[in-house]
Amino acid sequence: MPELPEVETIVQELLKAKPKILGSKILDFWTDWKKMIKRPKSLEEFREELIGRQILDIKRRAKNILFFLEKEKVLLVHQKLTGHLLYGKWKKKNKEWEAEIEGPLKSDPQNRFIHFILFLSNGWQIALSDVRKFAKIELLDKEELEKELAQLGPEPLDDSFTFEKFKEAILKKKKGKIKQVLMDQRVIAGIGNIYSDEALWIAKISPFRKVSDIKEEELKELYLAIKKVLKIGVQLHGESISDFRRIDGSRGEFDEWRKVYRKEGEKCERCGGKIVAKKIGQRTAHFCPVCQK
């Protein structure tokens, strides 16, 4: 699932895209998977409230992409497990959408699962590729948006996210295992399987440690590790080991940096131990049992 660095990459690139997206109007939309449009329930109502609105701003909150539209409406896109937004031009060919722009949009097979398209007044389109079709799209007013995001924890890259705030958030889940607590969006927003593994490796903490057993000095190391690995993830445009791609269809570069995620059986570059993968709840933790005690 795209995490904070992947979603932030999408948002930053949409804001910088040429031709410019901000100021464009949404002329139309297409989908072959109505189930991904959660609100409003009626596709006719969704169309009526969406078409003709200008895109004023694009932001991220946790793993959500937020298109702020005129007349106080917000289009929320959550890419879920395998979705990613693309920016380009497509045409229908043999009942499927084919990219008109040469390069990864057309050549990378991960970009061919188009299930939703926004047609913009600048002549370009924003498309959602999602092989498993789990992505969520909602058109909300600001009050509905506030309710939607109310349960989310603080943003770990915000300047206001101090160590004290981190400690306060984490210690609410004293009985939990640290990896699971880090991935709880009500505790901290935006961290998932990839960056929890990497942050815990940097901090030399086992993903199976109970929060109550972690000393304050270790928590400080973990706090710094989270900040570090998320910033690196954003700088390298995310992790594309699986489905995620940037808006031009190209791959992120975090794969070249990762230390433990999906590296089971390989040597830990810090101590030479063998990296293992073990189930923790419904997810898998990747860690070095030698230096992550």
Known active-site residue 104: no
Known active-site residue 2: yes
- pLDDT at position 122, please? 98
- pLDDT at position 1, please? 82
Could you give the C-alpha distances from 88 to 135, 161, 172, 191, 233, in angstroms and in order? 20, 36, 44, 29, 24
- pLDDT at position 173, please? 93
Known active-site residue 186: no
* pLDDT (tens digit per residue) in 228-260: 999 999 999 999 999 999 999 999 999 999 999
Residue 269 has pLDDT above 90, yes or no: yes
The band of 17, judged by pLDDT with boundaries at 50, 70 and 90, is very high
* CATH numbers and ranges of domains, the chain: 4-149 (3.20.190.10), 163-287 (1.10.8.50)
8 A C-beta contact, residue 239 and residue 252:
yes
Known active-site residue 283: yes
Closest CA relative to residue 280, chosen from 199, 203, 197, 221: 197
Residue 263 has pLDDT above 90, yes or no: yes
Spot the catalytic one: 60, 63, 173, 177: 63
Residue 212 has pLDDT above 90, yes or no: yes
- pLDDT at position 293, please? 85
Calculate the average pLDDT of the chain: 97
The band of 176, judged by pLDDT with boundaries at 50, 70 and 90, is very high
Per-residue pLDDT averaged across 74-96, rounded?
A: 96
Is the whole-model pTM more than 0.85? yes
Residue 95 has pLDDT above 90, yes or no: no
